[in-house]
Amino acid sequence: MSAFTIDDPRLVRGAVHLHNLGARAMAEFLCTIGEQTGGMHAILALLFEYECRLTPSMLRAVGGDRFPRRPLHIVPPEASS
């Protein structure tokens, strides 16, 4: 099993697409995950936890409403012969 991070391009692309589809699509997606993994109780518990401790304004204030920027990597020029 490979480790994924929050800035994995496939995860970001899928999350943005799902978000743009709206709340109904998000609920259906979570239900599908719950059915396929048997983890619906865990999903509902996490949703309740997020609802109790996070607000949109709180996330905006700390930048938690955006994905982290991907780092730029400097490629050194090849040495000329």
Nearest to 70 by CA among 8, 17, 11: 8
Residue 65 CA to residue 24 CA, distance in Å, equals 20
Q: Where exactly are the structural domains of the chain? A: 9-62
Over residues 21-59, the pLDDT tens digits come to: 999 999 999 999 999 999 999 999 999 999 999 999 999
Q: Which residues contact 19 (CB under 8 A, 6 or more apart)?
A: 26
Regarding pTM above 0.75, the answer is no
